[in-house]
Amino acid sequence: MALFSKYKLNYLIPIAFVGILFVSAFPNSKKTKAVLAPTTVNEPKFDKYWYQGKAEITSYELKQARYGEIRAGSAVLVFVTEPFSKSKQVKLNNTSRNKEDVIKVLKLNFTKKFTTGIYDYSILQSIFTPIDLDHYKHSIKATTSLQEWCGHTYTQLNLQSYKYKVLLKSYFETEGDQEYQIEQAMLEDEIWNLIRIAPGVLPTGSIQLIPNTATARLRHTVLNVENAFASLDENKANKNLMTYTVEFIESQRTLSIHYYKKFPHEIEGWAETYIDNGKELSTTATRIKTILSDYWSKYRVKDEPMRQELGL
For 283-305, the pLDDT digits (tens) are: 999 999 999 999 999 999 999 99
Average pLDDT, stretch 54-79?
98
The Cα-based distances of 256 to 20, 247, 271, 283 in angstroms read 18, 9, 5, 10
Q: What is the DSSP letter of 163?
A: E
pLDDT(68) > 50? yes
For 139-160, the pLDDT digits (tens) are: 999 999 999 999 999 999 999 9
Return the pLDDT at 27: 35
Q: What is the DSSP letter of 139?
A: -
Average pLDDT, stretch 67-85?
97
Q: Sign of torsion, CA 107 113 116 119?
A: positive
For 228-266, the pLDDT digits (tens) are: 999 999 999 999 999 999 999 999 999 999 999 999 999
Rounded to 5 degrees, φ, ψ at 244 are -105, 120
Question: Facing residues of 178 across strands?
Answer: 168
Q: Label residue 205 by pLDDT band (50, 70, 90).
A: very high
Q: Label residue 212 by pLDDT band (50, 70, 90).
A: very high
Question: Facing residues of 238 across strands?
Answer: none
Q: Under 8 Å CB-to-CB from 170, ≥6 apart: which residues?
A: 151, 153, 154, 176, 177, 178, 217
Rounded to 5 degrees, φ, ψ at 6 are -70, -15
Burial of 97 (0-12, 13-18, 19+ CB in 10 A): exposed
Average pLDDT, stretch 177-197?
97
Q: Which amino acid is at 310?
A: L
* Nearest residue to 73 via CA among 113, 15, 122: 113
C-alpha 214/C-alpha 155 separation (Å) is 8
CA 288 centroid distance within chain: 19
Task: Cite the beta strand spans of 93-140 per DSSP E.
Answer: 102-116, 119-130
For 93-151, the pLDDT digits (tens) are: 888 888 889 999 999 999 999 999 999 999 999 999 999 999 999 999 999 999 999 99
Rounded to 5 degrees, φ, ψ at 71 are -110, 140
First to last CA, the chain: 36
Q: What is the DSSP letter of 30?
A: P
pLDDT(37) > 60? no
Return the pLDDT at 12: 37
* H helix or E strand, kind and range, residue 6: none
For 5-22, the pLDDT digits (tens) are: 434 333 333 333 333 333
Q: What is the pTM of this model?
A: 0.86
Render the burial of 149-173: b for 16+ CB within 10 Å, e for the rest.
eeeebbbbbbbeeeebebebebeee
**Around Cβ 190, how many Cβ atoms within 10 Å?**
22
**Around Cβ 245, how many Cβ atoms within 10 Å?**
17
